[in-house]
Structure 1
Amino acid sequence: MAIVVTGAAGFIGFNVARLLLERGEEVIGIDNLNDYYDVNLKKARLAEIENNPNFTFLKVDFSDFDSLKQALDQHKIKKVVHLGAQAGVRYSLTNPFVYIQSNLVGHVNIMEYCRHLDDFDHLVYASSSSVYGGNKNMPFSVDDRVDNPVSLYAATKKSDELMSQSYSHLFRLPQTGLRFFTVYGPWGRPDMAMWIFTKNILEGKPIPVFNHGDMLRDFTYIEDIIDGIVRCLDNPPKDDGTMHTIGSNAPHRVYNIGNNNTVKLLDMIKVLEDALGHKAEMDLLPIQPGDVRETAADISAIQNDLGFEPKTKIEEGIPKFIHWYKQYHKIN
């Protein structure tokens, strides 16, 4: 019985697949290898795990249901970690249709496929801290209302949570949604601040600092993130088999998964400067449409339920990212 990981060539998906393979699981990785960012980076991630005999890679666009079904029908699947999606807040301002296709149609396709499987255990899927929009309550709690998204990306992720709730209620499909908070680390994404800042500082170029540096983020190291994902995967929500028309006891839950330690953007840049041994030239810019000033994760729910405890502060995680970055780019 295999575990499917969508977005297996992506930052988080690759790391989840690698961890599952290390503990002896059979993993089927799905990715369409789109060119949102450098495809060579995606291929380099896959090269790290493709020789494992328990790993099968399928180049599939899960927003095409027929292709998805044809690719997976030959396998026996017990769990799915659905991490594939069109990411990025700013990109959604100019390319809305890819978000609808990947994040909405694709999410329904995954659920629709899973609900027809025999003895299916659990679907874990990626949501985002972006769903909190301009929420002023800090830290963000999973009990907060999240019906005011400030970007289309956030709106698609909230929609995924709502669709998952309905599928869990109607079809008793066990699901867990994870609201990720600013993930970084080795094999990270080139469109994220950590990568952009590192690249520009090493090349002597100014770094774009939005809202004139008045930003706070819950930076979460990749190893902590994948520990939380796998804890969720191993512990599907319980279902007593009954359906209520008022309220819900559907086997569906949503967790924040962050570092529980909000950091000022300027403090992050200082750690980056110290680790690189170079000062950053900052291009101070206004806040971007769709962006928010602060994110902070209340992780008490996943702590209490699953014992999740992030361990990595940026003073430890940033040097690890830089070490990998220099190795990957062959920088002495």
Structure 2
Amino acid sequence: MAITKNTRSKTMKVVIAPEPGGPEALQIVEMETPTPSGREVLVEVKAAGVNRPDVMQRMGGYPPPPGASDVLGLEIAGEVIAVGSEASRFAVGDRVFGLVASGGYAEYAVIDERNALLAPAGVDWTAVGGIPETYFTVWTNMIQRGQLTKGEWVLIHGGSSGIGTTAIQIAKARGARVAITAGSAEKCQKCLDLGADVAINYKEEDFVEALTKATDGHGFDLCLDMVGGEYVNRNLAAAAPGGRLVQIALQAGPEATINVWQIMAKKLWFTGSTLRARSVEEKAEIANELEQELMPLWENGQCLPVIDSVYPFEEVVDAHRRMDAPHIGKVILSFEGDR
């Protein structure tokens, strides 16, 4: 292991939520700086994304996987300052970003080198820090599982969210046609500006009727849904014959009454997945595909995260308040001014 002069001390500041609650439940405390082992690298964090799973963990509804720390944060971007004894992919000084099971809201974080990528050249830390969680999630669910292909219609619920804005851009890059739902005219317009073909304000229109009309009766070939609840049956009604529904979150709750006949009659495919608890090897497969398929776009300034707001690390409570309020795209924690 080699550690550079960038390592300031044996302790670091991290964010935890000792008790479930609102943004005020978050606390900045000191913890021992981790030491990388095996194929891990130690990263001096420059930016970390704030994501819905972080909010759920703060509220007590999404505990870390077994063996992971209780420090919040699932994605990081920063500079490698130390490497484990078996690590060979990155060197000290490399700019990297990637997924962690926990520990992203910290001055330093360890990450398995297989779940990290070199940061795209010319892209600032703020944007790089907003890539991992949403892009890994969208890629595995929309492309690997959902099998979206050129010319198909994809319906993306929550189009203005971090997941949604990412999904729009990836879908368009793959040649698909995109319909989204969002809750305001401003959000709908932002999605159209990103490339969506159809934007449906779900507060003013029934999305099933609106999508059916917009697609000349066809419906969606693939739906990426983070709502769940009563949306499930409506999604089935909006599906084209042979359509695929991929459930990625359950903001309206995990229970739904499903008209199974619609699945049978239309020959639909209904699946879902989570990302956080997946193995290092599974996440590595996603990372490899992202590197091959999207890195060229990122380096050309394309298909990058939509950034709603950036907060200094010390203002993590305000960052979570922003996550709890209406926003468009990603909320980012910046560590660049803290050291």
Give 1 or 2: higher strand fraction: 2
Give 1 or 2: higher helix fraction: 1
Whether TM-score is above 0.5 comes out as no
TM category (shorter chain) comes to 0.3 to 0.5
The TM-score with structure 2 as length reference comes to: 0.34
The TM-score with structure 1 as length reference comes to: 0.35
